[in-house]
């Protein structure tokens, strides 16, 4: 493993970390195999944002006696509603889920306490105003239950504001070559009708300027960036992806780690093999790391693609929107028969959708969720 200082925390973090989001409903055996692979490879930073009890319990068991080997990032503001993970700004409720995380992880502290998913001015004030969630995080830190305070989000303007506020030590932010071509404000109404965006190297792109400013300000304020979504939810691996450019995990990690301010990358790994593929970055040749292929296509068209992150939940009828869309997309990319079997085990099917639209409002990636859910019905239920 190679290490970088995680900004002003001063802690050495392995440049390859682990994001646990795809292990939310995995068995303990799978979680064990992924974590073992990670720790054997020198990973020492794990992000666990989900509020589901099962995954918290599994990590608690797997990391028992290994707690000292890893920094754990947990999120203040991630709660459950009807069994689905979502965000809350209710301080008492958030703290209840924080306490639950410590108990289930069998630890008495978190290393990074992330203020969860701050993507718009209203959420920003509910978190950073004097009576907001930040006050809870600061108290928990004073009580020794958290070492550092961070923030997670997808919106450049909110991230810039937080970084420049001086309140956060760590920023968790999506970094990949596709996102770096998208507008800073992914939900901006004004950008709704644009079909495609300039490639990262195009100096006239407003988004590039904004994102470069964010990376720059993180470096100036010594706020360590934890790069999430380095693979854009795996879309960059698919030969049929809208950008027409296919990258490997090594190339994606290489790109993210080359951005200023990025200290560690936390790919979401479903299996030990996926963890191994990420760790392969450490032994890759310069040729294998070379991501210059992205320059061959100056126009990426990933706007509106689902990242399977489930930030749009809770769904009133309990559809697992991320999992449902991922399966429908996989069929489009030429997936196998297993996809129908995976769809069968989803407890609520896409046809239960009432088209209420709350998910569309919550999605930070401007995805037409209802269209995706309808596509899943057409693919799996007709
Ligand atoms: S629709 Fe949006 S919020 Fe929901 S899983 Fe997809 S990208 Fe995430
Ligand atoms: S539009 Fe459909 S998928 Fe989205 S929240 Fe409403 S019921 Fe759920």
How far is the centre of ligand 1, averaged over its atoms, from the C-alpha of 361 (Å)? 10
Architecture of domain 3-300: Alpha-Beta Barrel (3.20)
Neighbouring CB atoms inside 10 A of 29's CB total: 9
How far is the centre of ligand 1, averaged over its atoms, from the C-alpha of 1 (Å)? 32
Q: pLDDT value at position 189? A: 32
For the Cβ of 377 lying below 6 angstroms from any atom of ligand 2, the answer is no
For the Cβ of 367 lying below 6 angstroms from any atom of ligand 1, the answer is yes
Average pLDDT over residues 181-202: 36
193 pLDDT exceeds 50? no
Lowest mean pLDDT among 76-85, 131-140, 237-246, 362-371: 237-246
Q: pLDDT value at position 190? A: 29
198 pLDDT exceeds 60? no
- Choose between 354 and 203: higher pLDDT: 354
The pLDDT confidence band at residue 70, using thresholds 50, 70 and 90, is: very high
Which numbered atom of ligand 1 lies nearest the CA of 311?
Answer: 3
Residue-wise pLDDT for 289-322, tens only, equals 988 777 665 545 556 778 787 889 999 999 999 8
Site to probe by mutation for ligand 1, drawn from 152, 350, 363 as the one with most ligand atoms within 8 Å of Cβ, is 363
How far is the centre of ligand 1, averaged over its atoms, from the C-alpha of 147 (Å)? 30
Residue-wise pLDDT for 334-354, tens only, equals 666 688 888 998 999 999 999
Residues 6+ apart with CB under 8 A from 136: 76, 91, 94, 95, 98
Residue-wise pLDDT for 215-252, tens only, equals 889 988 999 999 999 998 888 888 877 666 789 999 99
Q: pLDDT value at position 121? A: 94
Q: pLDDT value at position 194? A: 35
Average pLDDT over residues 256-270: 93
Q: Where are the domains of the chain?
A: 3-300, 321-380
Average pLDDT over residues 132-153: 97
Residue-wise pLDDT for 72-115, tens only, equals 999 999 999 988 999 999 999 999 999 999 999 999 999 999 99
What is the model's pTM?
A: 0.82
d(CA 102, CA 79): 14
Q: pLDDT value at position 112? A: 98
Q: pLDDT value at position 204? A: 36
Q: Percentage of residues in the chain with pLDDT exceeding 90?
A: 67
Q: pLDDT value at position 74? A: 98
For the record, the structure tokens of 85 come out as: 């993970």
1 pLDDT exceeds 60? yes
């Amino acid at each position: 493993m190679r290490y970088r200082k995680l900004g002003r925390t001063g802690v050495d973090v392995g440049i390859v970390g682990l994001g646990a989001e795809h292990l939310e409903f995995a068995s303990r055996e799978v979680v064990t195999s992924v974590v073992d692979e990670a720790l054997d490879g020198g990973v020492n930073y794990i992000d666990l944002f989900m509020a589901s009890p099962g995954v918290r319990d599994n990590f608690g068991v797997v990391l028992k006696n290994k707690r000292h080997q890893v920094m754990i990032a947990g999120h203040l503001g991630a709660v459950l509603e009807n069994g689905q993970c979502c965000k809350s700004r209710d301080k008492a409720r958030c703290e209840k889920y924080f306490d639950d995380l410590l108990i289930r992880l069998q630890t008495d502290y978190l290393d990074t306490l992330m203020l969860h998913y701050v993507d718009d001015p209203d959420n920003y004030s509910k978190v950073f105003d004097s009576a907001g969630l930040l006050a809870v995080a600061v108290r928990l830190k004073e009580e020794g239950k958290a070492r550092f305070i961070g923030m997670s989000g997808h919106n450049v303007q909110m991230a810039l504001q937080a970084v420049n506020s001086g309140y956060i030590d760590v920023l968790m932010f999506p970094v990949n070559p596709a996102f770096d071509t998208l507008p800073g404000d992914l939900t901006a109404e004004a950008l709704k009708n644009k079909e495609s965006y300039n490639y990262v190297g195009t100096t006239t792109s407003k988004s590039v300027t904004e994102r470069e400013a964010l990376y720059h300000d993180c470096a100036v304020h010594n706020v360590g960036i934890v790069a999430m979504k380095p693979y854009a939810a795996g879309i960059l691996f698919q030969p049929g992806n809208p950008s027409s450019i296919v990258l490997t995990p090594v190339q994606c990690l290489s790109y993210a780690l080359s951005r200023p301010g990025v200290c560690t990358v936390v790919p979401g790994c479903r299996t030990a093999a996926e963890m191994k593929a990420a760790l392969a970055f450490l032994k890759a040749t310069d040729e294998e790391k070379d991501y210059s292929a992205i320059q061959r296509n100056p126009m990426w068209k990933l706007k509106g693609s689902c990242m399977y992150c489930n930030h749009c939940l809770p769904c009133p009828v309990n559809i697992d929107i991320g999992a449902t869309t991922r399966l429908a997309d996989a069929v489009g990319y030429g997936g196998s028969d297993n996809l129908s079997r995976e769809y069968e085990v989803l407890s609520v099917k896409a046809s239960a959708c009432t088209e209420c639209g709350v998910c569309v409002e919550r999605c930070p990636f401007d995805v037409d969720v209802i269209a995706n859910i309808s596509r899943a019905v057409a693919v799996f239920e007709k």
